[in-house]
Chains A and B, each alone.
Chain A
Amino acid sequence: MAKASPKKKAKEKEPEYIHVKFDMPRRYNWSTGRHLGHFYAQAKENKKIVGNRCPQCKEIWVPPTLVCPKCKVEMGWDLVELPQTGTVYQYTYLVLPLWDPHYGEKWANPYPSATILLDNGVFYRHRLEDTDKDKLKVGTRVQAVWKEDYEERGEGPADILYFKEIGK
C-alpha cells in the first residue's frame, strides 16, 4: 500500500509561511424571508419567541419554517408563541474564542452555551448568563433575558441576551 508516500523527514530547516492579514470588510445582505422574518419581527416588536406548527405531525418548529422536514408538507401559518422559561438540558462551558457567524466579530469568552427544554417541550439553543461554571447543572430552571432597548433589537435570536437562572 502507498509505499510511494513520503515518510516524515528528520528535522531540517523549516520553510516559512506567508502570513496574510485581511483588513477589508466584506458586506453581505441576507434576506430573513417570510418565515424566519416573522421570528425577527416578533422578537424586535414584542419580545416573543415564535415557531410554527406542522399541520400534519403537529410538531412545533423554531424558527418558523416553510416546509416540515419530517412530513415534507408546507407548514403554513399556524404560529405558536413559545414559553420563555425552561430547563437546562445539555450545556457546555466554552473557553475557546469563537466567531459570531452573524456579524463576524469575536465573541466574549468564556461563556456557557446550552440546549434548553422550554416548558412546552420544544428545544431552544442559546447561551446562559455568564456565571460560575461550577454552579451550572442539568435541570436548572432558566428564563430568557431580552435586550431592553428597542433600537438595539432586530438581530433575531440575538435579541435575547441570555437565559438566566430562576427559582424552582
Chain B
Amino acid sequence: MPNRVAIVGIGQTYHTTRRPDVNQPEMVAEAVRAALADAQLSIKDIEAVFSANMETFEGIFLPDHGMAAEIGAFNKPGFKVNTGGTTGGSAVVEGFYMVSSGLYDVAMVVGFEKQDCGDTTAAISAAATPMWGKGAATGAIGEFAKQALSYMETSGATEEHAAMVRLKADRNACRNPYAHLKLGLKSVDEVLQSPYLVWPLRILDFCPQSCGACVLILASENKAKKITKKPVWIADVEVVHQEPFRAGVFGDPTGKETYTQHVACERLYKRNGITNPRRDIDTAEIYEPSNWEEMNLYEHFHFCEKGEGWKLIEKGITEIEGEFPVNCSGGVLATNPIGATPIIRVAEAALQIRGDAGEHQATRDIKTALASALGGPNWTILTLLKRSL
C-alpha cells in the first residue's frame, strides 16, 4: 500500500502577458515564497524539488540549473520534467510518486513559464518530429481549429455556445485575483465580434499566453497532519500517452480513434468507484485550450452523454453557482503559463476543497475534485483530490 499524499501548501504568482520587472528565477521565487507561507514552512523543510517548464518557449535551456537557489533546490534532489502541455501535470504526478513511495516526506512541485521571452506558437511547431512534422505542424491553434470544426459538425453546437463558454470563463476569472484575462464581457455578441484567429477559432475562443508560476508542497500523511489542519489528499493519478500525429487526435467523428481521456477516465473512475462522475465528483478543473474543447472534454470525461457538452453550458450546470461547477478559476481560457497551467488546475481544485478560493469559491460544498492536463498529441493526466480519504 503506497503512502498517502496530501497537498499542504499552494502558491502562485499573478498571471499576465508581460513581466519585464523580473527575470525567470525571480518570477518563480514569488510562487515558491507564497507556497511556503501558505504551508507555514521554511525552505529548509523541503526535501526535494521537482520543476516543470517547456524550455523552448523561453529559449532558456536547463532553467532548473539557473534557479537552483531561487527554488531552494541547492544541494537537494529532484529534477525537471518537460512533457509538452502536460508538463505541470507530470510534475505533480512525479511529486506524488516520490512521496507515496516513501522516498521523501515533503516535496515541492514548481511549474513556470515566462512567455514574454519567446514565440510559443513557433516553438510548438518546431517541436514536431523533424522528419515527419512537415505538413502536420500547425501549432496548437491549428489542431484546435480542426477539433472545433468536427465538434460543430457532429454535436449541433453553435458559435453561440462557444461564446457562452468564454463568458463563463471570464465571469469566473474576474472573481479570481490571480487570473490573467479579465475582460468583463457582458454578452455573447461581444465574443462573436472578436476576429477569427484561425477559422473557425476566434481570438476569444482561445487561451492567452501568460507569464506565471505555480507551486505545490506535497507531504506524506504523518507530516501533512502536523503541517496543516486542511490537507487536501491526492486520492489517485492517471497518465495516458498517445501516438503522435494521428488524425483527429482532438476530435474524430468516425469513432475510429482511441481518446486518451476515455482511457484515463475508465481507469481512474473504476479504481475509485466513480460510476456517475457528476454525482461522485463535486467540481472539475479541466485543461481547455479552447471554448470548443471545454464542451468536448465534458463529453470525454463523461460529465454528460456524447454530443451534449454544449447543453451543460446552455443550462448553466457548470457555472460557479451550478450543480457541477467547472473551472471556477476561469481556467486555461483565462490563464495559460504553460509549464504552470496543469499545476494551477490541481492548485485551484485543492483551494475549492479547502474552501479557500475566496470570491471564486463554488456555491456548493466541494469534497471531491478532478483536475486534468492535456498536451502534445493529446496526452492526458488526471488527478483526483479529496477532502478526506
Closest A residue to B9 using CB positions: A2
CA–CA, A115 to B250, complex, Å? 12
- Bound together, the chains give a CA A91 to CA B127 distance in angstroms of 21
A123-B247, A125-B136 are known contacts. Are A4 and B11 too (CB-CB below 8 A)?
yes
B149 pairs with A90, CB closer than 8 A: yes
Binds B, one of A77-85, A95-103, A145-153: A95-103
Instruction: Give the distance to chain A from B211, nearest Cβ to Cβ, in Å.
Output: 12
Max chain B C-beta neighbours (<10 A), residue from A28, A97, A98: A98
Contact A157 B136 (CB under 8 A): yes
Q: Check if B24 is an interface residue, CB within 8 A of chain A.
A: no
A167 neighbours in B (Cβ, 8 Å): none
Q: Is A133 an interface residue (CB 8 A)?
A: yes
| Residue pair A30, B131 in contact (C-beta under 8 Å) | yes
Could you tell me the distance in whole angstroms from the C-beta of A123 to the nearest C-beta in chain B? 3
Q: In this assembly, does B80 line the interface, its C-beta being within 8 Å of a C-beta of chain A? A: no
Q: Cβ of A36 < 8 Å from any Cβ of B? A: yes
The proximity string for A residues 11-31 relative to B, scoring 1 for CB distances below 8 Å and 0 otherwise, is 000111100100000001010
A1 at the B interface (CB under 8 A): yes
- Interface check A75, CB cutoff 8 A: no
Contact of A158 among B135, B146, B258 (CB under 8 A): B135
- Also in contact, A14 and B31, with CB within 8 A (given A63-B132, A156-B131, A158-B134): no
What residues of B have a CB within 8 angstroms of the CB of A98 in the complex? Answer: 121-122, 125, 137-139
Assembly CA distance A113 to B146 (angstroms): 9
B134 and A133 within 8 A (CB)? no
A155 within 8 Å of B by Cβ? yes
Q: Check A94–B122 contact: CB distance below 8 A.
A: no
B122 touches A99 (CB 8 A): yes
Contact: B149 with A91, CB < 8 Å? Answer: yes
> Do A101 and B199 touch across chains, with their CB atoms under 8 A apart?
no
Interface set, chain B 193-207, CB cutoff 8 A to A: 196-201
With an 8 Å Cβ cutoff, the count of chain A residues facing the other chain is: 51
Q: A2-B35, A98-B139 are in contact. Are A14 and B20 (CB under 8 A)?
A: yes
Q: Once bound together, how far apart are the Cα atoms of A160 and B136, in whole Å?
A: 12
Interface string of B106-146 (1 = CB under 8 A from A): 00000000001000011001111111111111110110011
The answer to whether A90 touches B11 (Cβ under 8 A) is no
Q: How far is the CA of A63 from the CA of B138 in the complex (A)?
A: 18
* In the complex, residue of chain B having the shortest beta-carbon distance to the beta carbon of A17: B20
Most buried by B among A1, A102, A113, A115: A1
Q: B200-238 CB contact bits vs A (8 Å, 1 = yes)?
A: 110000000000000000000000000000000000000
Whether B356 lies near A99 (C-beta < 8 A) is: no
Shortest A20–chain B CB gap in Å is 8
Given A8-B16, A32-B131, A36-B132, check contact A99 B11 (CB 8 Å): no
In chain B between 133 and 187, which residues have their CB closer than 8 angstroms to a CB of chain A?
133-139, 141-142, 145-147, 149-150, 153, 177-178
B16 touches A157 (CB 8 A): no
| Assembled-state Cα–Cα distance A69/B257 (Å) | 13
Question: From residue A112, how far is it (CB to closest CB) to chain B in Å?
Answer: 9
Chain A nearest CB, measured from B212 CB (Å): 10
Q: Is residue B85 within 8 Å, beta carbon to beta carbon, of the partner chain?
A: no
Q: Does A53 make an interface contact (CB < 8 A)?
A: no
Taking CB atoms, residues of chain A closer than 8 Å to B342 are: none
Query: Do B11 and A2 touch across chains, with their CB atoms under 8 A apart?
Result: yes
A17 to B127, CA, bound (A): 26
- Indicate if the CB atoms of A96 and B245 lie closer than 8 Å: no
B354 to chain A, nearest CB (A): 7
Cα distance A110–B34 when bound, in Å? 44
Assuming the contacts A4-B34, A92-B145, asked whether A123 and B248 have C-beta atoms less than 8 A apart, the reply is: yes
Ordered by A's residue number, 19 sampled pairs between the chains whose C-beta atoms are within 8 Å are: A1-B38, A1-B358, A2-B11, A5-B30, A7-B177, A14-B21, A15-B20, A17-B116, A90-B147, A92-B138, A92-B149, A94-B138, A98-B139, A101-B129, A102-B133, A104-B126, A115-B248, A125-B136, A125-B245
Question: Which B residues lie at the A interface, using CB under 8 A?
Answer: 10-14, 16, 20-21, 30-31, 33-35, 37-38, 59, 116, 121-122, 125-139, 141-142, 145-147, 149-150, 153, 177-178, 196-201, 243, 245-248, 251, 258, 351, 354, 356-358
| 13 additional contacts (CB under 8 A) given A91-B149, A93-B199, A102-B134 | A3-B37, A4-B38, A70-B258, A90-B147, A90-B251, A94-B138, A94-B142, A96-B141, A96-B197, A101-B130, A102-B131, A115-B248, A124-B247
